[in-house]
Amino acid sequence: MARIPASEQPPAGAALRADAERNRERVLEAARHVFAEQGLDASTNAIARRAGVGVATLFRRFPTREDLIAAAFAEKMHAYAEAVDDALAAPDAWHGFCAYLERVCQMQADDRGFADVLTLTFPTAKAFEEQRKEIGEKLTKLLDSAKATGRLRPDFAHQDVPLILMANAGVITATKDAAPDAWRRLVGYLLQAFAAEAAQPLPDPPSRAQMYRALKRLAPTPHGARSSG
Amino acid sequence: MARIPASEQPPAGAALRADAERNRERVLEAARHVFAEQGLDASTNAIARRAGVGVATLFRRFPTREDLIAAAFAEKMHAYAEAVDDALAAPDAWHGFCAYLERVCQMQADDRGFADVLTLTFPTAKAFEEQRKEIGEKLTKLLDSAKATGRLRPDFAHQDVPLILMANAGVITATKDAAPDAWRRLVGYLLQAFAAEAAQPLPDPPSRAQMYRALKRLAPTPHGARSSG
DNA sequence: TAGGAAGTGGAGCGCCTATTCCAGATGTCT
DNA sequence: AGACATCTGGAATAGGCGCTCCACTTCCTA
């Protein structure tokens, strides 16, 4: 007798058996560790091995890679959201903005997987994407406030934020081992460029739609997706 | 009877048989095309297939991946060197520097493989690396001249150049398809940050040694090297 | 034009990957 | 304690990869 109506699948909230829940947690912990070290294209086997479970267990709990990624990075996404909240709460919006960018880039530097997550979308991970949308709206407010102080240049575009994250991801990928603080230099330059005092004409930013499409590019499938195109 | 003393291997300059030379050229052409489209981690098979030759032919002519990369990008490296020469010849060193950066970043945008090449070293490809060294020396001159004009900020470091290329590579990887001009925005910001007028204190740049080690990180082996670490 | 060096391509090896399947172990409820 | 759904891990499938080997072909020279 099922303690849950269980029409077909455990209705998304159904409690797992205790051992299963334990294993789920172990997989997530392993995934977080491995993704942080190797990036999003780490192999499923490596994660299962580290978790000390069979691959089948991993796949049963997280049928698609997006499921695993979304679950593994849920906490970091919250921290990411917190960063905007803190920035909005800062007494000076410009300083809030600067601190926000540094904090987020630091998060990228600390976690290669997260660096990738911030430059991608995961359309099937709904909670994830809703959160991203919410963060985006708060970010708009932050930018407006920062511009209102007269310190952030008025032509700074919302799309410039993911652009920075992409650039930062590039630096981190290349320098993580040999020069782990190199990204600070990049961000330092950029923040000075974002100051209103420095403002000179710029090329147009990519449109929001373009940027969204860029974020929607294929997530780094460990292998195989390469040949499908 | 060999028309060449041929102690063991064709002494690096030995003429290939006409058909072999033709195939060599076809492989290079294919490699250039495939690298440009897919990046340096394109599969050897894909290149051979496109060239219309067997994989053995490719490996006979280019025993290591570095051999192939060095040969495929030799021309682009010359164009890259030319960019510094032109910059040095410019009447105004600051404008020369700006044009140089834009031109090089454009080259990255036009060729995903080359974008990677510029953020890596290939220790076994001697001619390649000597050229890189020479370019580096000219670049130092260019930076000095640009600083002497008072327009390039004095704390701009030589190491900042590869840093920019890494950042640009990150943007290009992410936006190539959806927003192919996004990189211009990044470079636009950076150039404004490099202007002496905008100069504010910055984090220290990575040391040259660090940057060199970062460039020396493993080239993207198509697959396999991942598990060796 | 004939002989042999030079060059060829695809089959094959070993390794890696994702994903599925299923016989057997485990937890949970009565 | 017994019964049974739940959960498990490793074997198995199917594929991609780099790279090598070798029976066969092509070119060049004399």
Residue range A90-121, pLDDT digits in tens: 999 999 999 999 999 999 999 999 999 999 99
Average pLDDT for A19-48: 97
Average pLDDT, chain A: 91
Residue range A46-78, pLDDT digits in tens: 999 999 999 999 999 999 999 999 999 999 999
Alpha helices in A13-73 (DSSP H): 18-38, 44-51, 55-61, 65-72
A2-16, A119-133, A194-208, B208-222, range with the lowest pLDDT: A2-16
Average pLDDT for A12-36: 92
Residue pair A202/A154 in contact by the 8 Å Cβ criterion: no
Alpha helices in chain A (DSSP H): 18-38, 44-51, 55-61, 65-72, 74-89, 93-110, 112-117, 126-148, 160-175, 182-194, 208-215, 225-228
- Whether the CB of A177 is below 8 Å from some CB of chain B: the reply is yes
Disruptive mutation site among A47, A119, A163, A216 for chain B (greatest number of B CBs within 10 Å): A163
Asked if pLDDT for residue A39 goes beyond 70, the answer is yes
Separation of B12 CA and C5 C1' (Å): 18
Asked if pLDDT for residue B225 goes beyond 90, the answer is no
Of residues A23, A21, A18, the one with CA closest to residue A53: A23
pLDDT at A9: 41
A130-134, A218-222, B23-27, B149-153, range with the lowest pLDDT: A218-222
Compare CB distances from A206 to B167, B181, B215 and report the shortest one's residue.
B181
In Å, what is the CA distance from A147 to each residue of A93, A94, A127, A156, A219? Answer: 8, 8, 30, 8, 34
Question: Does nucleic acid strand C have an atom less than 7 angstroms from the CB of A222?
Answer: yes
pLDDT at A14: 72
Average pLDDT for A116-145: 96
Give me the DSSP letters along B88-138: HHSSSHHHHHHHHHHHHHHHHHH-HHHHHHTT---TT-HHHHHHHHHHHHH
> A8: buried, middle or exposed (CB in 10 Å: 19+, 13-18, 0-12)?
exposed
Minimum CA–C1' distance nucleotide for A227: D16
Asked if pLDDT for residue A214 goes beyond 60, the answer is yes
Closest CA in chain B for residue A200: B192
CB-proximal positions of chain C, under 7 Å: 5-12, 15-22, 26-30
Residue range B144-203, pLDDT digits in tens: 999 999 999 999 999 999 999 999 999 999 999 999 999 999 999 999 999 999 999 999
Residue pair A112/A156 in contact by the 8 Å Cβ criterion: no
> B74: buried, middle or exposed (CB in 10 Å: 19+, 13-18, 0-12)?
middle
pLDDT at B5: 35
Separation of B185 CA and C19 C1' (Å): 42
pLDDT at B13: 58
In Å, what is the CA distance from B212 to each residue of B70, B122, B159, B172, B200? Answer: 18, 11, 9, 22, 26
Residue B11 makes CB contacts below 8 A (sequence gap 6+) with B4, B5
Cα(A51)–Cα(A34) distance, rounded to whole angstroms? 10
Q: What percent of chain B has pLDDT over 70?
A: 90
Asked if pLDDT for residue A131 goes beyond 90, the answer is yes
Average pLDDT, chain B: 91
Using the beta-carbon criterion (under 8 Å), do B182 and A216 form an inter-chain contact? no
Asked if pLDDT for residue B36 goes beyond 90, the answer is yes
A79-93, B121-135, B196-210, B215-229, range with the lowest pLDDT: B215-229
Q: Which of B 157-176 lie inside 8 A of A, CB atoms?
A: 160, 163-164, 166-171, 173-175
Residue range B102-158, pLDDT digits in tens: 999 999 999 999 999 999 999 999 999 999 999 999 999 999 999 999 999 999 999
Residue bearing tokens 């030759």: B53
Cα(A170)–Cα(B5) distance, rounded to whole angstroms? 49
- Count the alpha carbons within 13 Å of B44 in the hemisphere toward its beta carbon: 20
What chain B holds in terms of domains, given with CATH numbers, is 12-71 (1.10.10.60), 73-217 (1.10.357)
* Residue A67 neighbours by CB distance under 10 Å: 15
Q: Which of B 56-115 lie inside 8 A of A, CB atoms?
A: none
CA B29 from centroid of its chain's CA atoms? 17
pLDDT at B12: 55
**What amino acid is encoded at B25 in this protein?**
E
Chain A residues with CB-CB distance to B223 below 8 A: 223
* Residue A100 neighbours by CB distance under 10 Å: 23
Cα(A191)–Cα(B201) distance, rounded to whole angstroms? 11
Asked if pLDDT for residue A229 goes beyond 70, the answer is no
